[in-house]
Every structure is written in structure tokens, then in C-alpha cells.
């Protein structure tokens, strides 16, 4: 069964960066899932979904409803698993990628979330590692998109809001019945040694801090793949150390 890690936290704390680094260093076969409708993870992984003719789950549902794509509504409903794999799963030598995607219609993300929820058990059978990047905030937890998590990485910035966020995450996952084996707290690049003292009062296992990395900031600004960052870059090295601390075997895949 796959080891499922989920990166969560408030907006802009470094959730996607952490998943992108983990995608490079965890053993294959691995599936990366981008639950953020903003779809930024593909860029961070150096993937051009358009070029590979892969669509997002939201895109697939829109096409089927509008009758504008190769898969009609009936085929989609009848053969969801194979359609999802054929149309939405980006495959590469190092990782596969599944993207929830942006909706350009009025309404919530219940339908694409539900497709993913219903497909996850099938998908997990094919992978050793599944890495989930979350949208900002808490709603994805209420929706229980991923209900069985091995390692929940909660990334925090040095603010009272983040401290409260940790408590809310614990309350929600308890209330909605998300199962997890470990809840890890990770301090983001804005933490100083002084700030780190505050993590001792948090309810979760503190694993350390991601170091500030000007090169990573530049890569993100230029839309470059984080796979091109050197192994020794501060963010990459500290994220790897955190993964090792959580018990992962870390080795570069590209």
C-alpha cells in the first residue's frame, strides 16, 4: 500500500515547494496530486500539461458536461477509472501527476473533489509514494478528499495565526474522521532560531525548519522547475533532512 503524505497549511507558507522537493527525492513509483485549483505545482515540477495533452479533473468534467471533448458524459460515468488514467494522468520516468485544475464556471469544487475521492483507492495500488499538495486553508480537510494519510505535514509561518491553524487542523481531522499515522509540524523559511522556540508548545511532532533560499525564490519568480535546483541549495537540503527525519529514504531521482 502506498505511503501517503499530505502537505497542508495557510496560504504561501511553502506547501507546494515542499511537495516539489519531495517529488524529486522519494522512491518511485510515485504519484503527485495537486489539489490546489491554482494548478501551480505542474510548473514547479517542470511539467507542461497542455503540451502532453493531459487535462485536469475539472477540465475533464467540463468537457464531458459541455460535450466539447473526446469523452462524453455517459462514457465518463461508465468508465471513470480508465478515462481518468487516460486523460488526466501525466506520466513521466520519475513521477506521475494528477491535477484537480481550475473551474471556469460558477460553483464549488465538489464534483472534481468527489471524482478524486472515488478514484484514490484504485490509484494508491499502483504507487509506493503518493504526495498530495493542498490548497490554502482548511476546506479540503472538511471535504475529506484524502481520508487515510500516513504523514500529514503541517507547514507553518511564525505567526499566532499559524499556531491557531494547527489547533483547527487537529479539530477538523478529528471531527470529520480523517485517519493519519503522524502529524508533523514544519517551520517555514520565515522562521528564525528565536521563533523556533514557539514550536515546542504545538500539538504535533516538530521536525525542523525549511531554510530561506534566494535561489528557490528566483526559480519560482521565473517559473522554473525546482528539479533544476542544486542538491545543496538551502531549501532542498533542509526539506530532505525533514523527510529523512520523518523516516523516508531520500535519493535523487533525476
Does 226 interact with ligand ADP (rule: CB under 6 A)? no
Q: Which range of residues in 103-111, 173-181, 195-203, 210-218 is near ligand ADP by CB under 6 A?
A: 210-218
- Minimum CB distance to ligand ADP smaller for 83 or for 97: 97
**Longest C-alpha distance within the chain, in Å?**
58
143 vs 73: CA distance, rounded Å = 24
Question: Which partner in ligand ADP, Mg ion, none is near 147 (CB below 5 to 8 A by kind)?
Answer: none
70 vs 72: CA distance, rounded Å = 7
231 vs 21: CA distance, rounded Å = 10
C-alpha cell at 172: 477538523
Does 134 interact with Mg ion (rule: CB under 5 A)? no
Comparing CA positions, the residue from 4, 146, 22, 34 lying closest to residue 94 is: 22
Does 16 interact with Mg ion (rule: CB under 5 A)? yes
Does 13 interact with ligand ADP (rule: CB under 6 A)? yes
Q: Select the residue interacting with ligand ADP from 169, 235, 242, 246 (CB under 6 A).
A: 235
Cell 460535450 belongs to 67
Does 15 interact with ligand ADP (rule: CB under 6 A)? yes
- Least Å distance, CB 70 to Mg ion, is 30
Work out whether the CA dihedral 119, 150, 165, 225 comes out positive or negative. Answer: negative
C-alpha cell at 205: 511532532
- Minimum CB distance to ligand ADP smaller for 126 or for 215: 215
Which residues form the interface with ligand ADP (CB under 6 A)?
9, 11-17, 136, 189, 210, 212-213, 216-217, 220, 235
Which residues form the interface with Mg ion (CB under 5 A)?
15-16
Amino acid at each position: 500500500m502506498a505511503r501517503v503524505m499530505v502537505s497542508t497549511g495557510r496560504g504561501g507558507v511553502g506547501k507546494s515547494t515542499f511537495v516539489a522537493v519531495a517529488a524529486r527525492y522519494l522512491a518511485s513509483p510515485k504519484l503527485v496530486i495537486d489539489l490546489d485549483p491554482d494548478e501551480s505545482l505542474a510548473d514547479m515540477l517542470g511539467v507542461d500539461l497542455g503540451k502532453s495533452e493531459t487535462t485536469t479533473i475539472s477540465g475533464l468534467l467540463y468537457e464531458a458536461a459541455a460535450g466539447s471533448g473526446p469523452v462524453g458524459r455517459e462514457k465518463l460515468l461508465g468508465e471513470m477509472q480508465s478515462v481518468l488514467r487516460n486523460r488526466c494522468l501525466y506520466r513521466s520516468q520519475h513521477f506521475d501527476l494528477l491535477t484537480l485544475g481550475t473551474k471556469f464556471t460558477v460553483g464549488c469544487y465538489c464534483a472534481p473533489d468527489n471524482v478524486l475521492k472515488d478514484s484514490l483507492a484504485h490509484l494508491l495500488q499502483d504507487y509506493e509514494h503518493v504526495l498530495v499538495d493542498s490548497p490554502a486553508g482548511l476546506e479540503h480537510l472538511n471535504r475529506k478528499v484524502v481520508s487515510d494519510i500516513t504523514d500529514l505535514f503541517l507547514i507553518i509561518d511564525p505567526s499566532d495565526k499559524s499556531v491557531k491553524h494547527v489547533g483547527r487542523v487537529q479539530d477538523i481531522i478529528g471531527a470529520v474522521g480523517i485517519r493519519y499515522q503522524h502529524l508533523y509540524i514544519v517551520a517555514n523559511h520565515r522562521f528564525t532560531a528565536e521563533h523556533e522556540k514557539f514550536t515546542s508548545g504545538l500539538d504535533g511532532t516538530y521536525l525542523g525548519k525549511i531554510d530561506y533560499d534566494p535561489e528557490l525564490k528566483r526559480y519560482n519568480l521565473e517559473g522554473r522547475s525546482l528539479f533544476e535546483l542544486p542538491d545543496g541549495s538551502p531549501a532542498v537540503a533542509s526539506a530532505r533532512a525533514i523527510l529523512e527525519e520523518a523516516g523516508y529514504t531520500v535519493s535523487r531521482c533525476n
